[in-house]
Amino acid sequence: MDPINDVAAKAQVMSDDRGHVFHSWSAQTLISPMAIAGAEGSYVYDYDGNEYLDFSSQLVNTNIGHQHPRVVAAIKEQADRLCTIAPQHANDVRGEAARLITNHAPEGFEFVFFTNAGTEAVEYAVRMARLHTGRPKVLSRYRSYHGGTTLSVNLTGDPRRWPSDQGSAGVVHFFGPFAYRSAFHAEDEAQECERALEHLEHTIRMEGPATIAAIILETIPGTAGIMTPPAGYLQGVRDICDRYGIVWIADEVMCGFGRAGAWFAFDHYGATPDLITFAKGVNSGYVPLGGVIISQPIYDTFAERVFPGGLTYSGHPLACAAAVATIKLMEDEKIIEHARDIGDDVLRPGLLELQQRHRVIGDVRGEGVFFALDLVKNRETKEELAPYGGSSEAMGVLVNALKAEGILPFTNYHRLHIVPPCTVSKDEAREGLERVDRALSSIASYVD
């Protein structure tokens, strides 16, 4: 699309926003949101005529990019035919969406419970696990994010939980594997894996195995740092869950549907969970949709027993139409394979090259179009460029430099995440890395 330059429209947008919109995760009077006028493909546009390469995928959800014509057309067609219907009725696009989703799930996962977003998917997956096992506790790792509603935010293992940590009865946190900042003083990935699994099993024994319903894990933690699990870790979790009769919930809300270069990120690691939560990439957020993919044993628990839960908009026709179109175009256009190639051929080698030139990059990690740069003041001490749970002058300088370079960035604490759409071209990805390279030079003075 052509850049938009409309000062009057921008003024009205900002007046309405600042006068009436209450923003999430923000101190209301201290923010000045960017006013977005439009978007297309890998780019977004503001009202000042500026174009930005979207290296954030918004909240890491526009996996097929902005305004994909096939999905836009599917939403329009569905709106003309049937805008909404209550979830107790059978509906063609809801059933088709569920079938297409389960086609890409592991064998034995044939049923989908639809929600409106990822946080609700987590809430309902935990409810299923607790009712299935008859146990109260759920284990989740530190450095994780599972959502913003009461249970999901208490499962979250990062500072976003702290202000709302009053409803955590039955929630137990543990340390997952993270070799770069090891909690286990490990000397390599294999040792990190072994010690992390020992720690998890020790936690289970101390809490009482018969009290634990589920372990919930982001297969690859997202906003908490994109820490890819070491080889063998997820299979170790599977073995522990089988040993103690615990349900493993794989949170694939951010890392699923192509983001990590696979339909589901756990496909990379040879281990199968019991419940799978999803959202975001299933239809790139064009219309809100999430859900839980349910294995046969947990489905059987509720085959003749009422499941006590539901949502007015569960499997909303517009959202499901968007999901059907998204999954079909992902298949037809081989977007999963493309995302994997972008990671292997452009992002990983390009980011490792940046690490050689910029001492501020302590660590590079990720898969597909799902990478993080761990930014440090000092490579030897690994001191973060911003405090855990906070920001810093240096990070503010970096964000401004990235925007000046025409990059819409995703940053969290001391990290810069490189998370363009799965559909980003190799030329766009290379251009983005060149812009990131120039922006990183703006903070060289903050590094020892």
pLDDT at residue 133 in the model: 98
pLDDT at residue 4 in the model: 79
CATH architecture of 7-67+334-446: Alpha-Beta Complex (3.90)
Residue 314 one-letter amino acid: S
Residues of the chain with CATH 3.90.1150.10: 7-67+334-446
Regarding beta strands 43-46 and 51-54, do their DSSP bridges make them parallel or antiparallel, or are they unpaired? antiparallel
Torsion of the alpha carbons at 296, 299, 300 and 306, rounded to the nearest 10: 180
CA separation for the pair 443, 409 (Å, rounded): 15
Q: What is the CATH number of domain 69-332?
A: 3.40.640.10
Residues of the chain with CATH 3.40.640.10: 69-332
- Which residue positions in the chain have pLDDT lower than 50? none
pLDDT at residue 162 in the model: 85
pLDDT at residue 3 in the model: 67
pLDDT at residue 166 in the model: 79
Structure tokens at 145: 């994010």
Residue 374, beta-bridge partner list: 363, 415
pLDDT at residue 124 in the model: 98
Residue 286 one-letter amino acid: Y
Structure tokens at 199: 């720690």
Q: Can you give the pTM of this predicted structure?
A: 0.97
CA separation for the pair 184, 78 (Å, rounded): 52
Closest CA to 39 of 21, 61, 24, 17: 61
